[in-house]
Every structure is written in structure tokens, then in C-alpha cells.
């Protein structure tokens, strides 16, 4: 079955048959999986702020030209 094969292949890449790895820092204790997700959220947030939205510049230019008429 292709689904079972792909799940098996993923399992070969990521061995999950062990207790979670944990990042310890003073009283903070986070699993590596959660640290990865938090890191991804920060990266996506920065990209969401920095990346121009498609068509935003065109719409803004159209609005400015309407205002100057």
C-alpha cells in the first residue's frame, strides 16, 4: 500500500521510538519539537512582515493616482 510505504519511509527518516529530546535552560524545559515549531513561527512572522503582499504596490499606486486627480 503506497500510504503504508510512505509512512514507513518517514519513520525511517525520523526515528520516533524514543522519549522526546528536551531543551533545558534554567527552569525552562521544552521538547525539541516545540522549539522547532516556535522557531518556525518566528521565521514565518518575520517573513509575513517583510514580504510584500502580491498586488499591494499596484493597488496603492492606483489609489494615489486617484487621490491626485
Partner 1 sequence: MSATPAHAQTDATRPPASWTGRVREAAVAALPPEKLLPEGQPTYVASWIYVFGVASLASLVVIVGSGSILALKGPAWWHYTGVGHFFNSVHLWAVELFFFAMVVHLWGKYWMAAWRGGRARVWVTGAVTFLVAIPCALTGYVSQQNFDAQWISTQAKDAMNSVGAGAFFNLTNFGQMYSYHVLLLPAAVIALVAAHVLLVRRHGVVPPPPLEKR
Footprint on this chain of partner 1 (rule: CB under 8 A) = 3, 37, 40-41, 44-45, 47-49, 51, 53, 55-56, 59-60, 63
Closest CA to 16 of 32, 28, 4, 3: 32
**Of 29 and 45, which CB lies nearer to partner 1 in the complex structure?**
45
Helices (H), 1-69: 2-13, 32-50, 56-68
To partner 1, the closest distance from the beta carbon of 16 in angstroms equals 13
To partner 1, the closest distance from the beta carbon of 62 in angstroms equals 9
Do residues 22 and 29 touch, judged by C-beta distance below 8 A? yes
To partner 1, the closest distance from the beta carbon of 15 in angstroms equals 18
Amino acid at each position: 500500500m503506497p500510504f503504508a510505504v510512505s509512512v514507513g519511509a518517514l519513520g525511517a527518516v525520523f526515528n520516533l521510538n524514543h522519549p522526546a529530546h528536551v531543551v533545558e535552560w534554567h527552569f525552562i524545559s521544552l521538547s525539541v519539537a516545540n522549539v522547532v515549531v516556535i522557531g518556525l513561527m518566528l521565521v514565518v512572522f518575520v517573513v509575513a512582515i517583510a514580504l510584500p503582499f502580491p498586488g499591494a504596490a499596484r493597488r496603492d499606486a492606483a489609489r494615489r493616482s486617484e487621490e491626485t486627480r
